[in-house]
Homo-oligomer: A and B are copies of this chain.
């Protein structure tokens, strides 16, 4: 292990004792993942793997671009297996394993003798395989299946799926590359690069890393592969329905990119792979590109919730500071993938700025993708609603559903990292692990009521006294944090968001961290035209929203918050599993003198009201109603 670099402790080696993630995890294990299997069966996705004769008809008709989402069903299967495997790591379950094994049997049967495996092309359009990488998701599907196979192998040790996928990867590696007779293609939807890095980390087979690097390195070169491929299909490359190669980030080579463009999920998967490769290959060019893209996203293109990609038509980015609230697309998958990317950036360079964004997306734009009861989903995540947005029981493109379940099922993997001479804690909320540090086994137990409280205790328990540094993240939102070791207040070095406590640790050492979590106001950069004159509320890692369920009397957009009104925090044990709400004296605008008039020369009347806000991730779990993150602010 590179002594300088921290590596994440895998989620399977981290226990969760805190009630917040315990509850989300239990919900995902007991309700979400089983119900997702049911849905996969109900809508025909599992059946589509079996490919009986005759081939069953299209379940979802082709749209006006000649496209059917059925071409990426394999990815849903892969992602579900990945999520279910993470669940199995928490508690083995022969029934779930039986379901996965049945799927693996189907996939093994569906695999072509040459290793190719795609349940759309194999039986429906076999002559078209590898002819439309731009649109048709074969490599994306392969990536998700591979991630599923790796996860299942890691949890159970069963090799069958992994063997199937290694054969498929061999086929892919022989098909694509710069050698004679190979296609110089790369995925239209990036994803497989991440999976290949994972496979390399599992098996040590360097060819997997090389293939991932090739896909990223080849992307966007001229002559453009998607152009040549379209011509080969007899199509006009200019007739590309998305109009621009920015859509899939192949407009210029990956390492030359400085502005985040196009489809947000593709962009985030690509950036995550670039960070992986920068780390594994010490590729400074890729690292610099990642840093430039990071700056662009986080200073000009990210919602205050961590949502990414304002626009529906490209499911992606538009231009700097274009962050409309009610029509925000902000796909759940994009925020999950932002967490992947931030986590990888953090391990390229231990900077709390990465962990801050990781935590922001985790508690807000990603977590809101799953309903409180665990079987309904948001695909897009607006920051304002007049009540038209409701969670889905399923989605025609169910990508987000299993992205959020695999995230929650493995959330503990984002909490702690170690290196030879150190431990770094990124997330609080009741995580514990044990690791070999400086040759000594050290148990680390963090306990807290985080995210509701910022007080955390970290117990350090080495088997023998040993010197190492403990790095504790001080979130960007936290001011005046205090730290004590064995009840003695310290003023440790704080660099780039981490406090470092270097000492010889002995069994029974206790570190107490206190991160004050007052409710506070947030303001957007004035270039965000939609948020001028508006304020958002934050407490700890949560961004809050006002929802009609807590603010009866009409739509919440008529509430205005005085700039100087005191924000009160209240613990509401009766809401969900207990929630800290925020409230303040506010005003509600009501029609003035000209009661029924649409426009009047006198302002609306401002009636006294109480504004109550709850964490954004919990919205739309009760009766239908309006919601808003950015509240109109009155300065008088």
Contact = CB atoms under 8 A, between A and B. Distances in A.
B557 A532 contact: yes
Given A533-B533, A533-B633, A636-B635, A600 B558 contact: no
Given A560-B533, A634-B533, A524 B598 contact: yes
Contacts of A326: 324
A144 to B, nearest CB: 30
Contact of A532 (B302, B521, B560, B636): B560
Given A598-B524, A603-B523, A532 B632 contact: yes
A155 to B, nearest CB: 39
A322 interface: yes
Pick the most buried of A299, A300, A326, A603: most chain B CB atoms within 10 A of its CB: A603
A583 interface: no
A440 interface: no
A368 to B, nearest CB: 18
Interface in A511-536: 520-529, 532-536
Contacts of A302: 598
Contact of A603 (B299, B322, B560, B563): B563
B64 A524 contact: no
A528 B386 CA distance: 11
A621 interface: no
A555 B530 CA distance: 12
Number of copies: 2
Given A599-B304, A604-B523, A558 B529 contact: yes
A598 B533 contact: no
Given A64-B64, A533-B634, A634-B533, A299 B597 contact: yes
A527 B300 CA distance: 31
A558 B524 contact: no
A298 interface: yes
A596 B521 CA distance: 18
Interface stretch (A230-238, A273-281, A586-594): A586-594
Nearest to A304: B599
A522 to B, nearest CB: 5
Contacts of A526: 558, 589-591, 604
Pick the most buried of A384, A520, A555: most chain B CB atoms within 10 A of its CB: A555
A601 B386 contact: no
Interface string A537-558: 0100000000000000011011
A327 interface: yes
Interface of A: 64, 298-300, 302, 304, 322, 324, 326-327, 384, 386, 520-529, 532-536, 538, 554-555, 557-558, 560, 563, 589-592, 596-604, 626, 632-636
Sorted nearest first, the 8 A-B pairs with minimum C-beta distance are: A529-B557, A64-B64, A526-B589, A635-B636, A533-B632, A526-B558, A526-B604, A636-B636
